[in-house]
Structure 1
Amino acid sequence: MSWKDDVNTVLERDPAPRSFGEALMFSPGLHAIFLYRTSHRLYEKGQYKLARAINYASRVLTGTDIHPGAKIGKGFFIDHATGVVIGETAEIGDNVSIFQGVTLGGVSTSKEKRHPTIGNDVVIGSNATVLGNIIIGAGSKIGAGSVVVKDVPPNSTVVGVPGKVIKVDGRKEAPEATVAPLPDPLAHTLDEVRRAIAGLDSRLNDIEERIMHTADKKATLLLSGPVKIPQDMELPFRASCSTAGPGAGSTGIVLAFEGTRVKKAVSRDRGDFELVPNGGTYSLCRDGEVFIEEVKIEPVVFHAPEQAFFNLDNRCIYGCSFCASPLLEESQEKGHTPEKVMRMIVEAHHKVGFDAVAITSGVPDTAERTVERIAEVVRGVREALPSVTIGVEPYISEMEQIDLLKEAGADEIKLNIETYDRGIFEKVCGKKDYDLILRSIEHAVEVFGRGRVTSNIIIGLGESDENVLQGVEHLAEIGSVATLRALRTNNMNRNALASEIGSVRPVDKDRLLRLVRAQKDILERHGLSTLTFETMCNRCGCCDIVPFVDIR
């Protein structure tokens, strides 16, 4: 076969060249065949190095790699040429056409016939791969991108990975007819991914169920009465007597279980639950049955785990009807001066786990003077313990007071709106300014930053769920995180609440959990989280269901 026959083959099968000369000069596949035929003649004469040198030059010039040892018949056509690889023991019959990217490769390293045999009149589409010592029957067509590893009958059409025979002699084959029993690697990988995802979904569902089960138990504890402890039981840590917050006036301990914790009032005489020693740990029982199998008693620094949480003064001129702090007996008042608090904090910083300070106060005289006392403590702590994180919980009457607390060294601030229902606010906190509090929260975000400002919204004052979530949304829009707190009633505040808002219905556990789940969704939508807080209630988590901690 002469070189002219190879040029004519190009003219017959490629419509692009318009003349013999154009085909001769500008067809890289043709040039690859020319160079192959030269190298093959040298190879058969034993001039292997020279043959390989021409083969190498062909690869550089045309982008094809045809081993000189391959046997190729007449009428061979390579379209576009780039990326074609033909191995040493490959045999190609007459009038075969292949396109760019085709590989006729081997699957063995032994020095024997290890490459395909291609029958006459075969067409192999671009990027197809034919591997091993197999036979592709005459007149067959291999679809673009197919991978063929087994013999193909004559006059067949093959497509896919692995290659599947879809036609023989023009007749469609059954779908299961396949060139190779080789498993589909992509399908296998996808199956593994699906199984892994299904397993993860199952595990996540299990985890979510456990978390919700734990949150349900915590909500039950938060909304119930005290824990009875045995008369002769000695607590491993000193109980805490709070003058602020939900537990004001009660003596309590922190119980940790299943990744969460709750602060509960304790009594040696009566309780809704009973703490039962259990070989180094404790069980919590209710009505004679185990409610939580294993609980631990956690130490507090001052009134909170990991934090020195101080109330400078429980007296308050505003007299919010839900707040028990101003109603404490004189024997329960701590009488903490700023100097005493600073000294106690500095002494406490050696305690295990101590890493935060929180300062709050009632307003015994004016908001201005109270803020100045809080700022005095903050400055003293900041000077003595420059690396400790400090949170403050004041009532303010001027925006400048927020700036003062920040300048003193506070890192976080809590400004309580208490309820987003203006009508209820005016009944239970009538001496306070609803609009001033909202403006102060907005200003505090400007001063302290997003995710550094929080505010209590009390649940159980007669507000609607819609109103609660409107409040959460409003606060989130300005960059503040609400703390949803269930109303706690006792002998000190029950009558005052009844006179202002009528009879008080206990907060329902399901309602509390439902609202906190909705709150979490709102916070996520606004890019906020309780996890950014390092002080006060979101960090402590003992008195509330905390999104991202108890609800995830």
Structure 2
Amino acid sequence: MRWHELKAELLATGSCRITGADASSYIERSAAGPGAGGSGSVFFSTGGRRIRLSVSPHSPIEIRHLGDGQAIIRHGSAECTGILEQVGLHCPRQAYITITGRCIFSCKYCPVPGTDGRIKTPDEIAAMIAGVRERIDAISLTSGVFESIDDEERRVRAVLKRIGEQEIPVGVSIYPGRDTPDNLYADGVSEVKFNLEAATPTLFDEMCPGLSWDGVIRALDRSVELFGEGHVFSNVIIGLGESDEEMEACIELLTGRGVIPVLRPLTPAAALQSFTRPGRDRLLRTAALHARWLKKAGLDTRTAETMCTLCTGCDIVPGRDRP
């Protein structure tokens, strides 16, 4: 079985149980996104390719830790030898930091509004980065919205000013205001990720009340002008109720604008707890569409220097996972 096929099977479940030697030092816990407030997750890697799975004692997927990071992952008759990776901050080889761990918006798939996350100060974030600097290749910043979109951007920019010019690339993913791309570019950011989240404007309005699909599109278009093709990204969740045809149209829309889509399998949470994760076949079909439209647009995921497309843990990434 090829890696991207095995990864699709694993992502369709999304979790693992850990057996064998103590693996607590390899477990990370998220402050944002669908994993916020959960029991943690691990990164399994083989041949330079990786997957992130949440930890659950009831999962049908087993990762047996042999000690010192050496591990075997088993799912049905499939078995693969690899390693558990140490996390920088949130993911391997990056300091991926959530500045504000709470949000005034209530996107239906996201548990963050229901948590009492705190706001990290610029000094605190600078210290966090300094503490892992020797084992990271990128810095990535994301944030909820505590009071307003503009206030949150100012908070992110204060962090950028505090950490100063870095010898490694810096990526930022926040909800954009009108001038956000220009401001982040002026601050020396290398890459940006502004998220459509849903494959159609109708689904976006349903899933993200109070936010603007058109506003995200405008921010993405301006970002490509500033940062260049291959350095602008947008999350799109697979499994919100869109058809394959609607997902393909969204992929075509983004790649045609020079944006690399980040196609994320739904983790049922918050108001969508009754939803199901997309299955193996759906993930493989979507990955094939993704690869086709990236190639047609001349986009290569291997140019990514920060954030999710560099990590690859949560998604099938053509060019990195899939031939």
2:112 matched to 1:325?
Answer: yes
2:320 matched to 1:539?
Answer: no
Structure-1 residue corresponding to 2:148: 366
Q: RCO higher in 1 or 2 (8 Å CA, sep ≥ 6)?
A: 2
Of residues 256, 259, 282 in structure 2, which corresponds to 1:477?
256
Q: Distance in 1 between matches of 2:67 and 2:122?
A: 42
Q: CA deviation at 1:504?
A: 2.7
Q: Distance in 2 between matches of 1:442 and 1:278?
A: 47
Asked if the contact 1:315/1:364 (under 8 Å) is kept, the reply is yes
Q: C-alpha offsets along residues 244-281 of structure 1, whole Å, 9 cap, x if unaligned?
A: 234322311111124421111124x4322222244762
Higher CA-based Rg: 1
Of residues 339, 344, 351 in structure 1, which corresponds to 2:123?
339
Which amino acid is the alignment partner of residue 532 of structure 1?
Answer: T
Identify if the C-alpha distance between structure 1 residues 229 and 428 changes in structure 2 by more than 3 Å, giving closer, same or farther: same
Q: C-alpha offsets along residues 113-157 of structure 1, whole Å, 9 cap, x if unaligned?
A: xxxxxxxxxxxxxxxxxxxxxxxxxxxxxxxxxxxxxxxxxxxxx
Q: Distance in 2 between matches of 1:299 and 1:277?
A: 13
Asked if the contact 1:262/1:542 (under 8 Å) is kept, the reply is yes
SS in structure 1 at match of 2:299: coil
Q: CA deviation at 1:317?
A: 1.2
RMSD over aligned Cα atoms: 1.9
Q: Distance in 2 between matches of 1:367 and 1:326?
A: 15
Gaps of 5+ in 2: none
Q: C-alpha offsets along residues 191-250 of structure 1, whole Å, 9 cap, x if unaligned?
A: xxxxxxxxxxxxxxxxxxx5xx211211122221532223x7322734211112343223
Asked if the contact 1:322/1:489 (under 8 Å) is kept, the reply is yes
Give the structure-2-normalised TM-score: 0.93
Of residues 111, 133, 141 in structure 2, which corresponds to 1:349?
133
Q: Distance in 1 between matches of 2:80 and 2:304?
A: 30
Asked if the contact 2:232/2:259 (under 8 Å) is kept, the reply is yes
Identify if the C-alpha distance between structure 1 residues 217 and 337 changes in structure 2 by more than 3 Å, giving closer, same or farther: same
Q: Distance in 1 between matches of 2:209 and 2:24?
A: 43
Identify if the C-alpha distance between structure 1 residues 293 and 365 changes in structure 2 by more than 3 Å, giving closer, same or farther: same
2:215 matched to 1:436?
Answer: yes
2:183 matched to 1:404?
Answer: yes
SS in structure 1 at match of 2:80: strand
2:281 matched to 1:497?
Answer: no
Q: Distance in 1 between matches of 2:120 and 2:220?
A: 27
Asked if the contact 1:246/1:543 (under 8 Å) is kept, the reply is no
Q: CA deviation at 1:449?
A: 1.3
2:85 matched to 1:298?
Answer: yes
Of residues 164, 167, 182 in structure 2, which corresponds to 1:387?
167
Structure-2 residue corresponding to 1:247: 35
Which amino acid is the alignment partner of residue 154 of structure 2?
Answer: E
Structure-2 residue corresponding to 1:233: 21
Asked if the contact 1:255/1:296 (under 8 Å) is kept, the reply is yes
Q: Distance in 2 between matches of 1:534 and 1:343?
A: 22
Runs of 4+ in structure 1 off by over 6 angstroms are none
Which amino acid is the alignment partner of residue 271 of structure 1?
Answer: S
Which amino acid is the alignment partner of residue 245 of structure 1?
Answer: G
Structure-2 residue corresponding to 1:508: 279
Identify if the C-alpha distance between structure 1 residues 282 and 425 changes in structure 2 by more than 3 Å, giving closer, same or farther: same
The correspondence of residues 246-265 of structure 1 with structure 2, limited to 5 A, is 246-250=34-38, 251-265=40-54
Q: Distance in 1 between matches of 2:283 and 2:74?
A: 23
Q: Distance in 1 between matches of 2:65 and 2:127?
A: 36
Structure-2 residue corresponding to 1:185: none
Which amino acid is the alignment partner of residue 253 of structure 1?
Answer: V
Q: Distance in 2 between matches of 1:293 and 1:475?
A: 34
Q: Distance in 1 between matches of 2:204 and 2:65?
A: 44
Q: C-alpha offsets along residues 36-84 of structure 1, whole Å, 9 cap, x if unaligned?
A: xxxxxxxxxxxxxxxxxxxxxxxxxxxxxxxxxxxxxxxxxxxxxxxxx
The correspondence of residues 178-193 of structure 1 with structure 2, limited to 5 A, is none
Q: Distance in 1 between matches of 2:170 and 2:42?
A: 23
Structure-1 residue corresponding to 2:290: 519
Q: Percent identity?
A: 33
SS in structure 2 at match of 1:320: coil
Give the structure-1-normalised TM-score: 0.56
Asked if the contact 1:376/1:408 (under 8 Å) is kept, the reply is no
Which amino acid is the alignment partner of residue 53 of structure 2?
Answer: K
Asked if the contact 2:49/2:321 (under 8 Å) is kept, the reply is yes
Asked if the contact 2:51/2:313 (under 8 Å) is kept, the reply is yes
Which amino acid is the alignment partner of residue 85 of structure 2?
Answer: E
Q: How many residues align?
A: 321
Q: C-alpha offsets along residues 482-511 of structure 1, whole Å, 9 cap, x if unaligned?
A: 111111114xx1xx237xxxx634312111
Gaps of 5+ in 1: 1-209
The correspondence of residues 273-292 of structure 1 with structure 2, limited to 5 A, is 273-278=61-66, 281-286=70-75, 291-292=78-79
Asked if the contact 1:284/1:290 (under 8 Å) is kept, the reply is no
Q: Distance in 1 between matches of 2:65 and 2:258?
A: 45
Identify if the C-alpha distance between structure 1 residues 508 and 270 changes in structure 2 by more than 3 Å, giving closer, same or farther: closer
Q: CA deviation at 1:420?
A: 2.7
Identify if the C-alpha distance between structure 1 residues 462 and 326 changes in structure 2 by more than 3 Å, giving closer, same or farther: same
Asked if the contact 1:458/1:485 (under 8 Å) is kept, the reply is yes
Q: CA deviation at 1:373?
A: 1.2
